[in-house]
Structure 1
Amino acid sequence: MRKFLFILLVLTNLYSISYSQQLKLKKSKSQLSATTFSEQIADTTRSLLNREETIYRAIAQGNIPDYLRKLVKISITDTLANKPYTLDIFVLPDYLSIGTNEDYLYMPVTPILAQKIANLSHCSLPTKKLVDLIYQHAKIKLEPQPIPPTKAMTTVAVFEKHNLLVQDQLFGFNKAHLNGLLTAGNKKDIIISNKIYGENSPRVVIYGWHKTDSKPIQPVYNKHSNTWADYSHGLRLVQNKVYLNGKSTTLQKILADPVLSKLISDEGSIEKPFYPIFEKY
């Protein structure tokens, strides 16, 4: 009897880890297309705060494509202090977008809004090391499509322009992409890092945009203010709940540990793995 219960417990544990994790966002009863949503936020007289409030409402109401709802598991294995570890994390299959499977818009946001969305969905943002690992595990690797920098790079018009460039690349992968195959190379990441609080005022820390040779265009950079969001930025959510050697824990606990943090961070432990949230900006 004890042997049977032990086997049942092991199988239950394995099932809980392998079972596909879902993004914790409700589903909208009347899905909003990206075309309609773009019209709502494209008004150039809108303030950044007003635009981001509109984006947040759309996300909170569940206006995201269905293909983003099933998270992708990545298993990280390493030996630390002579002890083997396997960490299972669950990530968004692509960068966050608003709309439907047929009509969606990748949505660049400030780190302020990124953190609000992460909190809403019980998620975190990735570290630099996680961005590299996600790229390594990606089945669809896209060549970055930079647009020459101008003052317009923070506008919805340029967001839409870059969106079309990426969707043209995805045309040949459309079925696999919409089935939730892990995709990378199309955006830079907003990351969590000790560099968020390394200046006089909070900054956005960005990294990535890997080329097909696996080298990132963007090194870790924190010189933009926390109200910066341009067309190249993407929001990749990582579920807070993770499994360490089969046992449930959180990403935050892993990052706070000076030993375990090495599994997902190459800058040591991160005591404040989040961005400050401001109500006005």
Structure 2
Amino acid sequence: MMKRVLLIMLCGTFLSCTVQQLKFAKREASALSGSQFSKSIADTSLTLETREQIIFEEIKNGNVPDFFRKLATIDVTQTINGKLYHLSYQVAPDYLLIGNDEDFFYTPTTPMLAQKIANLSKAMLPTKKMVDDIYANSLIKLAPQPIPPSKLMTTVPVFIAHNNIVIKQLDSLKKRHLRSELTAGNKKDIIISNKIYGQPTPRVVIYGWHKLDGKAIQPVYNKHTNTWADYSHGVRLVLNDAILNGKKVRLADILKDPVLHVLLSDEGVIANATYPIAN
């Protein structure tokens, strides 16, 4: 029995490693660097909708660093109703970035844009439990660096200020970061949750920003509408295709399962693992 379990686990891990890269377009040599891009969207006359369309076009055109494309594997092993399950899924090594390996920009978005980018890359956003598991597995853990809340926290200049703080934190870890080592603690996550729905206006649900002691600064929170995006928000992409006991599955299907959802969710079944996207 033990040999069979080990075989399943090894098989799952092996198969999960067959998808190594986020499937973005090839980055053009003429694409903007992170600092160039952040300056280009800092124009205060840009509407949120225009800014997010510009961000989406950059991502669609492949303007992301090479190291951001390489995925990290999260393994979850749990016994459910007397049966051992081993799930392997793959996540981006850091939060959404625009630019190149030497000059990149952490790019906060609304959940609507985060979902569009996830759809583009055949990915989903994480649940609260997944955020905890990703943090536990991260090799680079950064101490959160909050900026005092203000009316400016949703503006690009504050995005840039926080980006520069995180970049400075990474200075001594640059070689490891460029090797795509899983990184966390630098942003809150936009998460998948049942709390997105059930109110007159869909919500953005955020969670995380773990301190070095492993405790999250931000509990699950859904008081902002889905047009909210502030400097602290990060977009973590999680490939929807995964391996469960050696077989290919979709994470969205596991979240719907009345038994297996506990592998990914600690808030029960999540039947709709997406954010609504405005037309």
Q: TM-score range by the shorter chain?
A: over 0.9
Structure 1 residue 14: deviation in Å? 6.0
Q: Secondary structure at the match of 2:153?
A: helix
Which residue does the alignment assign to 1:83? 83
Matched, 1:234 2:234: yes
Structure 1 residue 12: deviation in Å? 8.1
**1:1-281 equivalence runs, <5 A:** 15-19=14-18, 21-30=20-29, 31-279=31-279
Contact kept in structure 1, 2:203 and 2:223, CA below 8 Å: yes
- Pairwise CA RMSD of aligned residues? 1.4
Which residue does the alignment assign to 1:3? none
Contact kept in structure 2, 1:189 and 1:208, CA below 8 Å: yes
Change (3 A) 1:14 1:141: closer
Change (3 A) 1:169 1:120: same
- Amino-acid identity (%): 58
Contact kept in structure 2, 1:20 and 1:72, CA below 8 Å: no
Output one character per residue of 1:115-166: Cα deviation in whole Å (capped at 9) or x when no partner: 0000000000000000000000011110000000111111110001001111
- Looking at structure 1, the residues matched to 72 and 61 of structure 2 have their Cα atoms a distance apart, in angstroms, of 22
Output one character per residue of 1:183-209: Cα deviation in whole Å (capped at 9) or x when no partner: 000000000000000322100000000
Contact kept in structure 1, 2:78 and 2:85, CA below 8 Å: yes
Amino acid at match of 1:37: F
Q: Secondary structure at the match of 2:204?
A: strand
Q: Secondary structure at the match of 1:52?
A: helix
Contact kept in structure 2, 1:20 and 1:70, CA below 8 Å: no
Task: Count residues with an aligned counterpart.
Answer: 270
Contact kept in structure 2, 1:153 and 1:159, CA below 8 Å: yes
Output one character per residue of 1:207-253: Cα deviation in whole Å (capped at 9) or x when no partner: 00000010000000000010000000000000010000011010111
Query: Structure 2: any 5+ residue segments left out of the alignment?
Result: 1-8
Structure 1 residue 16: deviation in Å? 2.8
Q: Secondary structure at the match of 1:274?
A: coil
- Looking at structure 2, the residues matched to 124 and 42 of structure 1 have their Cα atoms a distance apart, in angstroms, of 28
- Looking at structure 1, the residues matched to 20 and 259 of structure 2 have their Cα atoms a distance apart, in angstroms, of 26
Deviates more, 1:22-31 or 1:267-276: 22-31
Q: TM-score, normalised by structure 2?
A: 0.94
Structure 1 residue 18: deviation in Å? 3.1
Amino acid at match of 1:38: S
